[in-house]
C-alpha cells in the first residue's frame, strides 16, 4: 500500500494514488523476523508488533489485526514494514492461489494522519522488507464515505516503489474474492476473480535483475483502518507454475 491523496471524489477512476519516499534512514529486515511460529500447511507466521493473532481452522487462515493507531504495511519507501504475514520459502517459478473472505470495509478512521483508511488482504512475494510484490484485495474509505474495493498490484525493489497499484480493477468489498500470483522467470503475473472460474489478468510486472534469489510467498494483512482488520484466506493451489 502506498500513501494516498484523494484529489477528487467519485469512483476509483477519479482517485490519484501518490507515493512519497521517506528521507529517513531505512532499516532492511528479513522476510522472516522474530517472533515467528509455524502454521501448518501455510508456512511461518511473522508478528512484528506482537499484537496480531493467527487462527487456522478447517484449513482457513485468519489474520486478526486489533483496533489500533498503528499502521500495518510492507512499504519500505515510507518506513512501514510491519504487516503481519505468513510465508513459505519458494525458488524459481511458482503459482499460488487463494480465496479471500471477511469484511474488507475500512472503518474507524485512518491510522495515517491526512490519509484515507485502507485495508488490503494480500498475496505477497517477498525476499526481504526492501523487496516485495503485493497483490491485494484492497478497499479505501475517506471521511466515512462509501468504501471502494479494487485489486492493488504493486512491486517494490531496493526499498523503492517501482510500480504502484491503481483503481482500474474494481472488486466487491463483501463476499469472497479469488487471487492468483505466479512467477515466470523474471515476470510476476496476477489475476483476480469473484467466482474462481472467470479470471481477469492484470498487467504483468518485471522483477529487476537485482532481485534476491531466495524469496518467500504467502499472505499478509495490510491496513490503516483504526477499527482493525480480519481477512480470512483459503489456500486453493500452491506449486510450480505450468504455463510459459
Following DSSP, what letter does each residue of 55-112 receive, concatenated?
A: EEETTEEEEEBPS-S--B--BGGGTB----EEEEEE-SSEEEEEEEES-----S-BSS
* CB-CB contact of 64 with 55 (8 Å): yes
Per-residue pLDDT of the chain (244 residues; tens, 9 = 90+): 443 333 222 323 322 233 333 334 557 777 777 778 999 999 999 999 999 999 999 999 999 999 999 999 999 999 999 999 999 999 999 999 999 998 788 877 888 877 788 999 999 999 999 999 999 999 998 766 788 999 999 999 999 998 666 678 999 999 999 999 999 999 999 999 999 999 999 999 999 998 998 899 999 999 999 999 999 999 887 766 655 5
Q: In terms of Cα–Cα distance, which of 203, 201, 183, 204 is closest to 193? A: 201
Q: What pLDDT score was predicted for residue 233?
A: 98
Q: In terms of Cα–Cα distance, which of 68, 67, 27, 61 is closest to 44? A: 61
**Does 35 sit behind a cis peptide bond, omega within 30 degrees of 0 on the bond before it?**
yes
Q: What pLDDT score was predicted for residue 231?
A: 97
Q: What pLDDT score was predicted for residue 134?
A: 97
Residue 23: which residues within 8 A CB-CB, separation 6 or more? none
Q: What pLDDT score was predicted for residue 216?
A: 96
Pairing outcome for strands 117-128 and 177-184: unpaired
What are 21's three cell numbers? 519516499
Q: What pLDDT score was predicted for residue 55?
A: 96
Give pTM, 2 decimals: 0.86
**How far apart, in Å, are the Cα atoms of 186 and each of 209, 222, 239?**
8, 25, 17
Distance spanning both ends of the chain, measured CA to CA: 29
Domain ranges of the chain: 4-20+51-239
The Cα–Cα gap between 234 and 151 comes to 18
Residue 189: which residues within 8 A CB-CB, separation 6 or more? 180, 181, 182, 183, 201, 202, 204
- The CATH architecture assigned to 4-20+51-239 reads Sandwich (2.60)
Amino acid at each position: 500500500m502506498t500513501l494516498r491523496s484523494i484529489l477528487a471524489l467519485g469512483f476509483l477512476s477519479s482517485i490519484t494514488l501518490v507515493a512519497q519516499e521517506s528521507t529517513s534512514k531505512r532499516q532492511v529486515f528479513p522476510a522472516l523476523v522474530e517472533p515467528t511460529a509455524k502454521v501448518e500447511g501455510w508456512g511461518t507466521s511473522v508478528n512484528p508488533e506482537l499484537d496480531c493473532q493467527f487462527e487456522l481452522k478447517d484449513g482457513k487462515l485468519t489474520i486478526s489485526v486489533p483496533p489500533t493507531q498503528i499502521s500495518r504495511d510492507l512499504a519500505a519507501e515510507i518506513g512501514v514494514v510491519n504487516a503481519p504475514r505468513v510465508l513459505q520459502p519458494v525458488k524459481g517459478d511458482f503459482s499460488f492461489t487463494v480465496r479471500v473472505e471477511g469484511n474488507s470495509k475500512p472503518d474507524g478512521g485512518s491510522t495515517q494522519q491526512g490519509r484515507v483508511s485502507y485495508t488490503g488482504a494480500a498475496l505477497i512475494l517477498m525476499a526481504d522488507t526492501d523487496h516485495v510484490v503485493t497483490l491485494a484485495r484492497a478497499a479505501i474509505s475517506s471521511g466515512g464515505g462509501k468504501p471502494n474495493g479494487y485489486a492493488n498490484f504493486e512491486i517494490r525493489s531496493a526499498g523503492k516503489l517501482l510500480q504502484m497499484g491503481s483503481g482500474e480493477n474494481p472488486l466487491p468489498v463483501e463476499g469472497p474474492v479469488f487471487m492468483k500470483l505466479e512467477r515466470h522467470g523474471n515476470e510476476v503475473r496476477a489475476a483476480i476473480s469473484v467466482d474462481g472460474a472467470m479470471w481477469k489478468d492484470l498487467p504483468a510486472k518485471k522483477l529487476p535483475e537485482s532481485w534476491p534469489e531466495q524469496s518467500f510467498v504467502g499472505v499478509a494483512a495490510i491496513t490503516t483502518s483504526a477499527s482493525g482488520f480480519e481477512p480470512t484466506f483459503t489456500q486453493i493451489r500452491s506449486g510450480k507454475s505450468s504455463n510459459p
